[in-house]
Structure 1
Amino acid sequence: MSHSLIEGASYMLTGLRWLPKAGLRGVVVLPLLINSVLFGIGIGWSTSRFEQLDQAVQRALPEWLAWLHWLLWPLFILTALVVVFYTFTVLANIIAAPFNGLLAARVEKLAAPSGAPPRPPAELTWQELALSPLRELSKLLYFIGWAIPLLILSFVPVVNMAAPVLWMLFSAWMLALEYADYPLGQRGLTFREQRRLLRRHWPLTLGFGSMALVLTLIPVLNFLAMPAAVIGATLMWVREVSAS
Structure 2
Amino acid sequence: MFRERIMLSTPNAAKSGIQYFMDGFSLIRRPGLRRFVVVPLLVNLLLFSGALVLAVNYLSELMHWVDKSVPSWLDWISFVLWPLVILALLVVFSFVFSSIMNWIAAPFNGLLAEKVEQLLTGKPLNTGGAMDAIKDLPRVFGREWQKLKYYLPRALLVLILFFIPLVGQTLFPIIWFLFSAWMMAVQYCDYPFDNHKVPFNDMKFALKQTKGSSMSFGVAATLFSMIPIVNFIVMPVAICGATAMWVDKYREVYRNARVAPE
Question: Taking structure 1 as the reference length, what is the TM-score of the superposition?
Answer: 0.77
- Partner amino acid, structure 1, of 2:104: I
Whichever of the two has the greater Rg, that structure is: 2
Q: 1:25, CA displacement in angstroms?
A: 1.2
Q: Distance in 2 between matches of 1:81 and 1:8?
A: 28
The amino acid across from 2:36 in the alignment is V
Give the whole-Å Cα distance in 1 for the aligned partners of 2:200 and 2:91.
23
**Identity, % of aligned positions:** 36
Is the contact made by 1:176 and 1:205 (CA closer than 8 Å) also made in structure 2?
yes
Is the Cα–Cα contact under 8 Å of residues 14 and 232 in structure 1 kept in the other structure?
yes
Once the two structures are overlaid, the 10-residue window that deviates more, 14-23 or 118-127, is 118-127
1:91 to 93, 97, 100: 100
Q: Determine helix, strand or coil for the equivalent of 1:125.
A: helix
Shift of 1:190: 0.8
Select 1:234's aligned residue among 222, 239, 243: 243
| Structure 1: segments with no counterpart, 5+ residues | 53-68
Structure 1 residue identity aligned to 2:120: A
The equivalent residue for 2:71 is: none
Counterpart of 2:246, as a letter, is W
- 1:131 is aligned, of 114, 124, 139, to 139
C-alpha displacement of 1:233 = 0.6
Instruction: Confirm whether residue 172 of structure 1 aligns to residue 185 of structure 2.
Output: no
d(CA) in 2 for partners of 1:21, 1:203: 28
What is the number of residues matched between the two proteins?
218
| Correspondent of 2:118 among 109, 112, 122 | 109
Contact 1:24 / 1:107 at 8 angstroms: preserved in 2? Answer: yes
Comparing 233-242 and 79-88, the one that deviates more: 79-88
Question: Does structure 1 conserve the Cα–Cα contact (< 8 Å) formed by 2:48 and 2:97?
Answer: yes
CA contact (8 A) 2:13 2:249 kept: no
| Cα shift at 1:119 | 5.1
Question: Structure 2 vs 1, CA of residues 81 and 218 (structure 1 numbering), >3 Å: closer, same or farther?
Answer: farther
Q: Distance in 2 between matches of 1:120 and 1:134?
A: 21
Following superposition, the deviation at residue 128 of structure 1 comes to 2.1
Query: Structure 1 residues 42, 197: CA separation in 2 closer, same or farther (over 3 Å shift)?
Result: farther
Q: TM-score, normalised by structure 2?
A: 0.72
Please tell me whether residue 199 in structure 1 is matched to residue 208 in structure 2.
yes
Give the partner amino acid of 1:112: T
